[in-house]
Amino acid sequence: MTIEITKKSVARWHEMLDTRDMNILNELLAEDVVFRSPVAFNPYPGKPVVTFILTNVIQIFENFTYHREFYSEDGLNVVLEFSANVGEKKLKGIDMIQFNEQGQMIDFEVMLRPKSGLEALAAKMGERIMQYQP
């Protein structure tokens, strides 16, 4: 049953990206969600900051496309492979997302390559994160 709940949440995630309806994040993120950035050593805990980060990253990425999905046996973890551009820089990456039994995201970790794409994203996000006010 758990994998069906997770797959429903992943479908809502894709719907949010397609429609740009960021209000869907409110139902997808658990209050105690943690975001693990590819450019920061320390994780970002809590729904408000994770909402801010994901909302801004979605605005920065251009030509964002998911290619493949991988689910864990227990149905609580999914890895989504993607590609995108940040300006002229191309990047590939994965979102590693852990869900709770209710289908809410509790851990969201991003890994990116190559370094030039990661640096371009870090520069753009750095400007925006300085404006974050919890």
End-to-end CA distance of the chain: 36
pTM for the model:
0.94
Tokens encoding 56: 């801004």
Domains of the chain from N-terminus onward? 2-129 (3.10.450.50)
74-133 tens-digit pLDDT: 999 999 999 999 999 999 999 999 999 999 999 999 999 999 999 999 999 888 888 776
Ramachandran area for residue 111 (φ above 0: left; ψ -120 to 50: alpha; else beta): beta
Q: What is the mean pLDDT of residues 17-22?
A: 94
DSSP secondary structure of 70-117: EE-TTSSEEEEEEEEEETTEEEEEEEEEEE-TTS-EEEEEEEEE-HHH
Confidence of residue 66 (pLDDT cuts 50, 70, 90): very high
